[in-house]
Homo-oligomer: A and B are copies of this chain.
Amino acid sequence: MTARPANAHQARLLRLLRDGGPNSRAQLGDQVELSRSKLAVEIDRLLETGLVVADGLAASRGGRRSHNVRLAPGLRFLSVDIGATSVDVAVTNPELEILGHLTEPMDVREGPVAVFEQVLALADKLKDSGVAEGFDGAGIGVPGPVRFPDGIPVAPPIMPGWDGFPVREALSQDLGCPVMVDNDVNLMAMGEQHAGVARSVRDFICVKIGTGIGCGIVVGGAVHRGATGSAGDIGHIQVVPGGRQCACGNHGCLEAHFSGYALARDAESAAVDGSSAELAARLAAAGRLDAADVAAAAAAGDPTSLTLIRDGGARTGQVIAGLVSFFNPALVVIGGGVTGLGHTLLASIRTQVYRQSLPLATGNLPIVLGELGPAAGVTGAARLISDHLFSPA
């Protein structure tokens, strides 16, 4: 696809068709501020580009029956969500519905060349499965800050070898289509906004608790990326003055006390020092422990695991309480791998936020788990590239 909308009206029509699916000219006309004749001109132009196709007659609304239009059904977006230890690659249709989705373990520390080799192989596999012949655009998420206009990771703490790598340019050449790159947490927020729990919410934060902890910020419906693309980097907010040493060099950062990584380490300590027989048995069986083990042990009634989850939730809640006071969001979404810890974690976060933030900010504030799970990131990636392609060139 090379065509792009010629003006803001066309861009808006394309996004309406993306978000609402096939629609009649009459109903589109109700949603945009265009005269009947101007609407017809813009839709005819979009039909000429091939981005939009006719889709039969609409049901009668009383007068002459209106013609339906839809986005070209053959459009395909490639969505890539690179985590610290795994990668998700998916293909969506123009309405951002996922047609195929593959996940594989991966180590982001192996650097961009190795990671993109794996990504391209997964993309080929999806093509071979028949869900796409080619890609009209690709959205990529990486687990670190991104200089957004260029699509280049900047000083990513857990991604040695990625600093300054021209992800956007390199992948665009490999794939032969436009590419947009963003932080993985921003994509999770956009995914939940597009098709998840944050639908129609214009001001919210989305906290992702995975190997590390980050936060996507949506202001007035748009992602806030900050002056240098590092907005939402809340893993290094201090929660324990003089607390644990963090990989960043400071002490007492949230991530040092709670994250997928910290939780695994704490669980292994508890297994080794004899404070949890349940965790010790799991460590003996598996050779290592992760957040899922702690969740399973907690479900089996292990008090040490419950305490680890509750303490982690309280630390996270302490940081979120500050963000709620500062930002006064309409919604807080909790997502990421550690949400396997479920309602114990959520209850602990909620307790802390409702106790520490002022009632005016929390009175109508829902704090909820994300709805989309691993689909949030890839849905957000498709949203990112479609927002770009459905903007005036």
Residues in A lying within 8 Å of B, measured CB to CB: 145, 154-155, 157, 203, 215, 217, 219-220, 224-234, 236-238, 240-241, 248, 250, 318-319, 321-323, 325-330, 355-361, 363-365
Contact = CB atoms under 8 A, between A and B. Distances in A.
Given A248-B358, A361-B233, A226 B203 contact: yes
Integer count of this chain's copies in the complex: 2
A230 B355 contact: no
Contact of A356 (B154, B250, B323): B250
B356 A230 contact: no
Nearest to A355: B250
Contacts of A226: 203, 327-329, 361
A318 to B, nearest CB: 7
Given A248-B358, A250-B355, A356-B250, A364 B227 contact: yes
Contacts of A330: 227
Given A236-B357, A238-B321, A358-B236, A227 B203 contact: yes
Given A203-B227, A224-B219, A326 B323 contact: yes
Chain A interface main SS type: loop
B224 A318 contact: no
Contacts of A225: 328
Contacts of A323: 326
Nearest to A204: B227
B322 A228 contact: no
Nearest to A323: B326
A145 B238 contact: no
A280 to B, nearest CB: 31
A36 to B, nearest CB: 21
Contact of A328 (B230, B357, B360): B230
B359 A155 contact: yes
A231 to B, nearest CB: 4
A322 B237 contact: yes
8 contacts: A203-B224, A228-B361, A229-B360, A231-B328, A234-B325, A234-B326, A238-B318, A238-B356
B231 A326 contact: yes
Given A219-B219, A228-B364, A236 B155 contact: no
Most chain-B Cβ atoms within 10 A of its Cβ — which of A203, A229, A321, A327?
Answer: A327
A372 B308 CA distance: 49
A337 B12 CA distance: 47
A326 B326 contact: yes
A393 B323 CA distance: 35
